[in-house]
């Protein structure tokens, strides 16, 4: 079966999405005041959890202090979106710490 593009709505803070295994995230955008991610993958593939974080501009990145590793080592940037006519600016990341742990990385 071929790949398909799907839309996933995400909420403030942390959202766990069930995506096809190996799905590729294409973009993140504001659609009618809802932050959405578009990704493609095989719909018949086994589903896997993907953890998405939304962090507002000016919010401290406390993850570095808690885990004592650089932010980029466990968070992959997806994109930046604005809501409420640009009043709020959000930065969207995927938590990749699970894949790091699977490769023997110790936190």
User: Which of these, 97, 95, 78, lies nearest to 38 by C-alpha position?
Assistant: 78
| pLDDT band at residue 103 using 50, 70 and 90 as cut-offs | very low
Main-chain phi, psi angles of 45, to 5 degrees: -70, 155
Asked, for residue 56, whether it belongs to a domain, the answer is yes
Token representation of residue 13: 């803070």
34-45 burial: b if 16+ Cβ within 10 Å, else e: ebebebbbeeee
Q: Which domain holds residue 81?
A: 4-102
Residues across the chain: 107
Asked, for residue 67, whether it belongs to a domain, the answer is yes
CB-based contact 7:41 (threshold 8 Å):
no
Number of domains, the chain: 1
Asked, for residue 107, whether it belongs to a domain, the answer is no
Helices of type H across the chain:
63-67, 97-102
pLDDT tens across 21-36, in order? 999 999 999 999 899 9
Asked, for residue 62, whether it belongs to a domain, the answer is yes
| pLDDT band at residue 96 using 50, 70 and 90 as cut-offs | confident
């Amino acid at each position: 079966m071929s790949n398909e593009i799907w839309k996933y709505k995400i909420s403030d803070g942390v959202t766990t999405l069930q995506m096809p295994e190996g799905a590729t995230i294409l973009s993140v955008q504001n659609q009618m005041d809802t932050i959405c991610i578009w990704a493609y993958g095989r719909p018949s593939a086994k589903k896997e959890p993907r953890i998405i974080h939304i962090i507002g501009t000016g919010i401290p990145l406390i993850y570095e202090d808690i885990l004592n590793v650089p932010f980029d080592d466990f968070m992959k940037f997806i994109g930046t979106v604005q809501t409420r006519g640009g009043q709020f600016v959000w930065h969207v990341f995927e938590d990749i710490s699970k894949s790091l742990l699977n490769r023997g990385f110790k936190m």
